[in-house]
Structure 1
Amino acid sequence: MFVSCGVGAQELDTRIGKISMEGELPAHDSVAKLYAELDFQQATQSYLWALPLVSYAQWQAEFRDKLGAHSGDLMVLNSYEDKLGVITANATTPYILGFVDLNETGPLVIELPSGPTAGGIGDFWQRAIIDMGQTGPDKGKGGKYLVLPPGAEPPADAGKYYLAKSETMNVLVGFRVLDPDPAKGKALVEQFKMYPYAQRAEPTKTKLLTPGGKAWSGTQPRGLTYWQRLHQIIQKEPVNERDRFYMAMLASLGIEKDKPFNPNDNQRKALEQGAQVGELIAKANTFAKRFPDAQYWPDRQWDTVLNIAEPSQRVAYYDQLWERSAWFYEAVTNTKGMVSKTPGLGQTYLGAYTDAKGEWLDGGKNYRLHVGANPPAKQFWSMTVYDIDSRCLIDNPQRKADLSSRQDLKKNADGSVDLYFGPTAPKGFENNWVQTLPGKHWFSYFRLYAPTEAYFDKSWKLDDITNVE
C-alpha cells in the first residue's frame, strides 16, 4: 500500500525576489516569474551580442532613407556636419564609405587608386575581411579587389584580384584619405571604382554622394526599435555557426529568420527591459573597462579602446564577445591597421573617460591636457571629443570637436602643447580649445597616425586630463 506524503511549501530568497517552492520544485505560481526572468536575461545578452550588427544595419538604413545612398553608392563625409552621425569619427581626415548588398550585386569588384589611403572591407559583424591602402596587400599602390559572397567560389580569373571572402551578404567598403591636400584627396576619391563582377567589361561609374546638410545618425536605436532593426537585418543574412544559440534565444523572444516580428506582451516587455539594461551594461563595459591590460599606462587613466586581438574577433578558445561589445558600442569598423603593432604603420587609439582623479568628464567643467613634446606619430596626432549619449562628435556651438598637430596650435617653448576643454575658452588659448556642453558628459580619443617606437615601448607617456578649476 502506498501512502502519499505532502511536501511542505516554503519561500526561497533569490536575486529576483522570493520564489515560492513546493519542496525542491518551484510552485506553479512561480514558474511564470522564472520564465519572465529567463526572457529578460536572454534579451539583455542578445542586446550586447547584436551591437555590431545593429550598428551597421542602422548606419546602412540611415544612408539609404535619410541621404539617398543605395547599394554600391559611396558617401563622402568631409565636414564636421557630415560626420556628426558617425560613431567616434575622426574629425581630421575625410571618410569615403559605402554599403553593398551582395544579394543584389553578386561578387563585387573594387578598384582602389594608388595614394595615401587607409581602409578596408568589413562584414556586417564588423569583422575585417581585408585591409586596403597602406595597411592592405596593395601597400598604398592601389589595385583591384574582389569581394565574394558567402559560399561563392572564386572565378577563373581570381588571380587578377586581391580576394576577400565575406561571411555576410552585406558589407561596408570604406577608406580614409590621408593626404592633407584637399585637392589631391578629391582627385584620388574620384578615381575609386566599385561595380559588380558581372559588369566588369563595362562597369558603371560609381556614384559619389554627400549628406548635403541633412541630419542622420548611425547610433544604435533604443527600445523596441533596436529589435526591429535586428529583425530586419537577420532576414538578409546567413546564420553563422557560432551564433546559433543566440538565434535560439531570439526565437523565444519573437525574432526569427523568415518570420514576421510580432512580439506578444510578455516578449515586448522583456525586449524593452533587456535593451534598457543591456545598454547600461554596455556603458559600464565600455567606459569602465575591466579587460586585463586595458589601461595603457598603469599610472594613467588612458585606456586601449580597441581590445579585440584580431579583426576576426577570435582567439584560441573563444570569440571576444565582451571586447567586441565594448568597441562596437563606442565605435565602428575594425581593420588590421587599427590595431597596428608595427611602428610607422596604421593607427592607435587611446580613450579617456575620466579625469586624473577618476571622475567622469563633465561638460560643465574646465580641463587641460598636456601633450609632451615629440608625440610618437610619423604622420600626425589628434585629440577628439565625443558625446557620451550618441558616441558621436560633440555637437557644440563652436562646431569643432578636435585638436590636432595639423592645426595651428599654440605651443610651449619646449615643443609641448596644452589642450583645453570646457564651456568657455581660456584667454590666449582659443585655438587650443574644444567647447563642451554643461549638463552632458563627454569622452575623448587620442589618435596617433603611423605610431612610432616610443608609443610601443611606452617611453613617451601622455598626461591625464586634469580639472583646472
Structure 2
Amino acid sequence: MKTILSALLLFTLANLSFAQDKVDPKLQEQNAYKAALWGMPIVSFDAMREAYQRDAKAKYNDIVYWSRPADSKLQITTPNNSTLYVYINYNLTNGPVVISVPEAKNIGLFGSMNDAWQVPLADIGPKGEDKGKGGKYLLIPPEYKGDIPVGYINVNALTMNGYAIFRVIPKSFEDKDLKKAVSLIKTVRAYPLAEAVYPPKQRYIDMAGKEFNGLVTYDSSYFTRLSRMINEENVHARDTFAMDQLKTIGIERGKNFTPDTKSEPMLTNAAKKAQQFFMTSATEMNPFFPKSHWLAPDPIGPKTGFSYMEGDKLAIESRGLVFFLACAPPKNLGAASIYVAGFKDNKDQLFMGEKNYRLHVPAKVPVNQYWSATVYDSETAGFIINSPKQTVDSFNQKLAKNADGSVDIYFGPKAPEGKMENWIYTQPGKRWFTFFRFYGPEEAIKNKSWKLPDIENVSTNLMQAEEEKP
C-alpha cells in the first residue's frame, strides 16, 4: 500500500482564500481527486440510500429484504448471496430510532448498524451486543439532550443518517428453510422512539429478483453526492481542512453545488482517477495467509475504532479502499466471519474474464457455518451485470466432491462439462476478483495454521480437454 496521506497534507495544497474560479485547473483537479478519496465512504452510503428510496420505494425505517439469495440485479459493493439480506435506512433528525431484532434461534443472524461514514456502531446477533438473544437497539442522535429510557441497548450515533444491514443464514435454501428465515425477518422492527408506545405498522419490502442499484458512478455525479452529504451532516474536527478545501471545487455547506460545463469533465476525470487508484491498490493489499495471493485490507480500521486516525493523520487511502470494496463492516471484525480477497492467480497474474481458473478447496474447511466463493467486477466491486452464476458455497448439496472430500471450484466464461454446480461465471474482456468467505471461522483460520490454496490458471488444460472430445 502507498504511504497514507495525512489530512493536513491533503487539504493544505491551495491557498484557502482563493475562490473556486481562481484555483489553477490542474490543482483543482488534484484537489477533486483527493476529495474523492476522502469522501468514498459517505458517497457510497448515499448511493445505497438512493437505491433504497428509488428502487425499493422505501422510506426511513422501512425493512427492505431479500426473500431468497440475490442475483446480479442486486448491485451494491461485494454483496453476499449465500445469505438473505435485511437493509434499513434511518434518520435521527427528529430524535432517536428503535431497531428491534429477534432472538437468533435455529437460524444464523448477524449484522451491524453503521453511520453515514460507515463507521460500525453496534453488532447484532450472537457476536453482537444482544448476544443472540434479541433486543431493542436505541440509536441516539449526536448531542441528544432528551431522556433515555431504560430497557434498550443504547447506541450513540455520530451522524444523523445511517443504516443497518443484517444477514440471515437459513439452514438450507430449500423452500421450508427460506420461509422460516423470512418469518424471522418479519419480526425485525424499526420506528421512532417517540412512537414506541404505539409503533406504526411496519413496512416490509421484498426486493428478491428486482433491480437495486446502490453502486457509485465514477463521474461528476460523485461530487453531487458528496455535496449532498456534506450538507446533511455536521462537520467533525478531523474534516475541517477537507471542508475548506472542498470550496476550491465548488462544494460548500449551505450552498448548492452547480458545476459548470468546464468543471464537469474535470470532476469526472478526478472521480475516474480515484476509481483507478482503488482498483490498483486493492491488488496490493497484504497477504492474509503467509506467502499467499489471498489478501486483506490494512487493519487500521478496527485498530482505530474505525476512525482511521493515526495521531493527526487521517488514512483516507486505506479508508477509501475499504469502502470501494465493501459496505457495512462489523464492529467486531472477524468474530462472525472472515473474508479474504483474490485478485491474482498463483503466478501473480491478474484474473481475466476470458481465461479459466480452478480453486482447490481442501476437505473440512474449519468453519462452523459455511464457506463461499463469489466473483465481482473489478471496476465496480459489484456483481458482474447479467452474470448467470456468481457464487459457489458449501450449502450446495449438489457440489461435485473429490474422493477425499475436497472441492474444486471453476471460474470462467463457460462451465466445464459436468461441473455446473462447481462453476462461477466470468465475463470475457473484464477483470474480476473474488471474495472467499468463512462464516463461523474456527481458530485454525484465525491463527492461519490452515491455509486456502491459491487459484490456478487452467486455461490450457481446459482447452485441451475440449479438443480431445470425440
Alignment TM-score, normalising by the size of structure 2 = 0.86
Shift in CA distance, 350/51, structure 1 to aligned 2, threshold 3 Å = same
Percent identity, aligned pairs only? 35
Measure the CA separation in 1 of the matches of 2:194 and 2:112.
22
Q: Residue 363 in 1 paired to residue 323 in 2?
A: no
Measure the CA separation in 2 of the matches of 1:301 and 1:431.
25
Listed as ranges, the gaps of 5+ residues in structure 1 are 1-31
Q: Residue 171 in 1 paired to residue 162 in 2?
A: yes
Residue aligning to 2:219: 223
Amino acid in structure 1 at the alignment position of 2:152: Y
Shift of 1:175: 0.8
Note the 1:189-268 alignment, pairs <5 A.
189-211=185-207, 213-264=209-260, 267-268=263-264
Amino acid in structure 1 at the alignment position of 2:131: K
Shift of 1:56: 0.8
2:142 touches 2:156 (CA, 8 Å); kept in 1?
A: yes
Shift of 1:92: 0.4
Moved more, 88-97 or 425-434: 425-434
Measure the CA separation in 2 of the matches of 1:267 and 1:434.
41
Measure the CA separation in 2 of the matches of 1:346 and 1:36.
47
Shift in CA distance, 34/60, structure 1 to aligned 2, threshold 3 Å = closer
SS at match of 1:464: coil
1:44 touches 1:274 (CA, 8 Å); kept in 2?
A: yes
Shift of 1:113: 0.8
Residue aligning to 1:467: 457
Shift in CA distance, 328/372, structure 1 to aligned 2, threshold 3 Å = same
Shift of 1:454: 0.8
Measure the CA separation in 2 of the matches of 1:101 and 1:33.
37
1:193 touches 1:205 (CA, 8 Å); kept in 2?
A: no
Residues matched between the structures, number: 426
2:87 touches 2:165 (CA, 8 Å); kept in 1?
A: yes
Amino acid in structure 2 at the alignment position of 1:42: N
Shift in CA distance, 113/348, structure 1 to aligned 2, threshold 3 Å = same
User: Which of 160, 163, 173 is the equivalent residue of 2:151?
Assistant: 160
Shift of 1:405: 0.9
Residue aligning to 2:302: 309
1:369 touches 1:466 (CA, 8 Å); kept in 2?
A: yes
Shift of 1:38: 2.0
Note the 1:56-455 alignment, pairs <5 A.
56-77=45-66, 78-81=68-71, 84-103=74-93, 105-115=94-104, 116-153=108-145, 155-157=147-149, 159-180=150-171, 181-211=177-207, 213-264=209-260, 267-289=263-285, 294-305=286-297, 307=299, 308-310=301-303, 311-314=305-308, 316-317=310-311, 318-337=313-332, 339-340=333-334, 345-396=335-386, 399-408=388-397, 409-455=399-445
**Which has the greater radius of gyration?**
1
2:70 touches 2:84 (CA, 8 Å); kept in 1?
A: no
2:70 touches 2:208 (CA, 8 Å); kept in 1?
A: no
Moved more, 250-259 or 36-45: 36-45
Amino acid in structure 1 at the alignment position of 2:110: A
Superimposed CA distance per residue, residues 250-298 of structure 1 (whole angstroms, 9 cap, x where no aligned partner): 1111011110112345544542322121221121122333xxxx21123
Aligned-CA RMSD value = 2.0
Measure the CA separation in 2 of the matches of 1:249 and 1:236.
18
Measure the CA separation in 1 of the matches of 2:359 and 2:209.
32
Moved more, 173-182 or 142-151: 173-182
Moved more, 260-269 or 189-198: 260-269
Measure the CA separation in 2 of the matches of 1:306 and 1:349.
13
1:123 touches 1:167 (CA, 8 Å); kept in 2?
A: yes
Shift of 1:236: 1.2
Moved more, 213-222 or 190-199: 213-222
Amino acid in structure 2 at the alignment position of 1:325: G
Moved more, 144-153 or 75-84: 75-84
SS at match of 1:234: helix
